[in-house]
Amino acid sequence: MHTLQTADYIVFLVYFITIAVYGYSVYRRKQKTAASTNDFFLAEGSLTWWAIGASLIASNISAEHFIGMSGSGFALGLAISTYEWMAAATLVVVAVFIIPVYLQNRIYTMPQFLSKRFSDKVSTLMAVFWLLVYVFVNLTSIIYLGALAISAISPVSFEWAIALLSLFSVIVTVGGMKVIGYTDVIQVVVLIAGGLVTTYLAISLLSTHFGHDGNIWDGLVELKKQAPSHFHMIFSKGHKYYPELPGLSVLIGGMLVNNLAYWGCNQYIVQRALGADLPTARKGILFAAFLKLLIPVIAVLPGIAMFVLHQNGLFQNEMRDNGILKPDHAYPTLMNLLPAGLKGVAFAALTAAIVASLAGKANSISTIFSLDIYRKYIDPIASEKKLIRVGRWAVVFSMMIAAIVTPALRSLDQAYQFIQEYVGFISPGVLAIFLLGFFWKKTTAGAALAGAIVTIPISTILKFLPVWTHGAFPDYPFLDRMSITFLSVASIMVLISILYPRPIGDQHKIEVDTRLFRVTPGFAIGSVIIMGILAALYTVFW
């Protein structure tokens, strides 16, 4: 039923007005101070630890989780949660070892780090890569999944949903990072509340169907009983979905590469903490790690519940498109079953997730283009106000391009896996360049440039060589391809650095003070709790 009732519109309107009024009040307070690029792009010194943590999650969680991860939960089961749970562990590593390096060296953008550590050539090449990935993979996939969900649960058409989401996101983004950061606190509250409502409905429906009168705890027991194959975190070789989540690679291989690159070397994510002091940044990141543990409850469990209900004869038509089973229809189908008012809450949650994520991506595009492309190559003497204006126009144009490209994604089955795989073409090389740049002083600019150049060709060869050779070359799962690419790029960089060392006098321009790796007792206790929870989850659901 693609309709919203009066109560739903009222709930959504309250959400929209709250975001608009609060965002505008933050913007007005910011306007009382002199405009600066650090304030606009980073909200330097303005975000509290809870705002940083909330913004990290709001920017990370989007339609790709509600729709895409739920679809993967329907198809693969709980194992897809490894992206979230291993991210929690990765965030701890980032807070301890990576954020201190950025803050000590006053790094504001990832290309700035590459320029300071290596050369402008490396910096510019990677800036262009990031801009292309952000616009043509990240923005488009978020808009696509968001528009798909909104058109499935409301009278708004797919095309109008694309336009409205893009416009709403532009409005939020042009206020700068401070507006994004503080409105993200509201967005996180809304998206978690709405997500829990939908999860409750899914488990309650399943409980009722199997004669438990809607009891949630009985429903959870029944869920595991009815879909035992969907409650394994580690797939063995030969499993149908081993290519998507290959065995232990989800713990110590490609998943670690994927998460470290995303959480530690990604402008879109790291930017939230770059304007804070180290204790505040660490608290915010730890808060985000705790929130990541919760995401599978609101994104994966509904998909598994829909799998069980579908297997038992329910929602046969709703889960198909032109006769083809579409796992990504699981979440929108559930949302359509919510009663008036609660459907509005879920609708607001979905919109909050989409808009927050789009705003975060657009702000990073704006930051990289303004500071690492425009100021460096187009107008080196541009004033602070001009750079901010250029940044705002970058937001508008990037969103327009993404909105135009988005309809081309309609042929996808599991969009979440598409996003992970194609972002993974560049992630291994990025991680190799950054880790060697951080922790091995002998790494040269030439080695980094070579690493940046060979990353995509190596990833492409590993993906398509099995097809080109008609199966003579092994068809590795994409997470394993990420491990191979990372090790290959790192090896090439080490070899080049040894064969062609830095000239005498070429100073290492990044300082790494290992004393900053020490953490407070409170942070240590929080980290141990997270690791203990993860150990328990993987032990129970191995």
DSSP 40-85: HHH-TTT--HHHHHHHHHHHH-SHIIIIIIHHHHHHT-GGGGHHHH
- Alpha-carbon distance of 170 to 173, in angstroms, equals 5
Tell me the domain boundaries of the chain. 48-122+184-360+412-423+512-540
Residues 6+ apart with CB under 8 A from 135: 365, 398, 401, 402
Residue indicated by tokens 């829990």 = 196
- For residue 534, pLDDT beyond 90: yes
The first and second tokens of residue 26, run together, are 């933050």
Task: Tell the burial category of 27 from Cβ atoms under 10 Å away from its Cβ (0-12, 13-18, 19+).
Answer: middle
Beta bridge partners of 324: 321
Provide mean pLDDT across the span 375-387: 82
SS3 of residue 151 by DSSP: helix
Tell how far CA 136 is from the center of its chain. Answer: 15
Identity of residue 435: L
Look up the pTM and report it. 0.82
CB atoms within 10 A of CB 200: 18
Q: 34: pLDDT confidence band, cut at 50, 70 and 90?
A: very low
For the cut 80, the answer to whether the pLDDT of residue 64 exceeds it is no
The backbone torsions φ and ψ at residue 176, rounded to the nearest 5 degrees and listed phi first, read: 95, 175
Position 202 scores a pLDDT of 86
Question: Three-class SS of residue 324?
Answer: strand
DSSP string, 513-541: -GGGG---HHHHHHHHHHHHHHHHHHHHT
**Dihedral (CA of 475, 479, 482, 483) sign:** negative
Pairing of strands 324-325, 320-321: antiparallel
At residue 420, the pLDDT reads 64
> Which whole number is the average pLDDT over 430-437?
92
Residues 513-541 have a mean pLDDT of: 91
- Give me the pLDDT at residue 342, please: 78
pLDDT tens per residue, range 246-301: 878 888 888 888 889 888 888 777 777 777 788 998 999 999 999 999 888 888 89
pLDDT over threshold 80, residue 58: no
Q: What is the pLDDT of residues 169-186, one digit of tens each?
A: 887 776 666 666 667 777
Q: Is the pLDDT of residue 366 over 90?
A: no
Which residue matches tokens 């670690």? Answer: 256
Give the DSSP letter of residue 215.
-
pLDDT at 449 over 60: yes
Nearest alpha-carbon partner for 23 in 164, 166, 186: 186
Residue bearing the bigger pLDDT, 8 or 292: 292
Provide CATH code, domain 48-122+184-360+412-423+512-540: 1.20.1730.10
- The values of phi and psi at residue 62, to 5°, are -145, -165
Q: Is residue 148 pLDDT above 60, yes or no?
A: yes
Residue 36 pLDDT exceeds 60:
no
Phi then psi for 274, rounded to 5 degrees?
-70, -20
% of the chain residues with pLDDT over 70: 89
pLDDT recorded at residue 185: 74
Residue 46 has pLDDT above 90, yes or no: no
For the stretch 458-516, pLDDT in tens is 988 888 888 888 777 888 888 888 899 999 999 999 999 999 887 765 666 788 888 88
Q: How far apart are the first and last CA of the chain?
A: 38
Q: Which residues pair with 202 in a beta bridge?
A: none
Hey, what amino acid is at 92?
Answer: V
Cα angle 171, 40, 84 (rounded to 5 degrees) comes to 75
User: CA distances (Å), 486 to each of 258, 383, 452, 453, 492, in order?
Assistant: 10, 39, 11, 13, 10
pLDDT at residue 175 in the model: 64
Which of 45 and 136 is assigned the larger pLDDT?
136
Mean pLDDT of 346-374: 81
200: pLDDT strictly greater than 70 = yes
Q: Give percent above pLDDT 90 in the chain.
A: 14
The residue-averaged pLDDT of 105-127 equals 86
Residue 436 pLDDT level (bands cut at 50, 70, 90) = very high
Please tell me the predicted confidence (pLDDT) of residue 193: 81
- Among 424, 358, 326, which Cα is nearest to 139's? 358
Average pLDDT score, the chain: 82
Q: Check whether 45 has a pLDDT greater than 60.
A: no
What ranges in 265-341 are assigned the alpha helix state H? 267-270, 278-299, 301-311, 330-335
SS3 244: coil
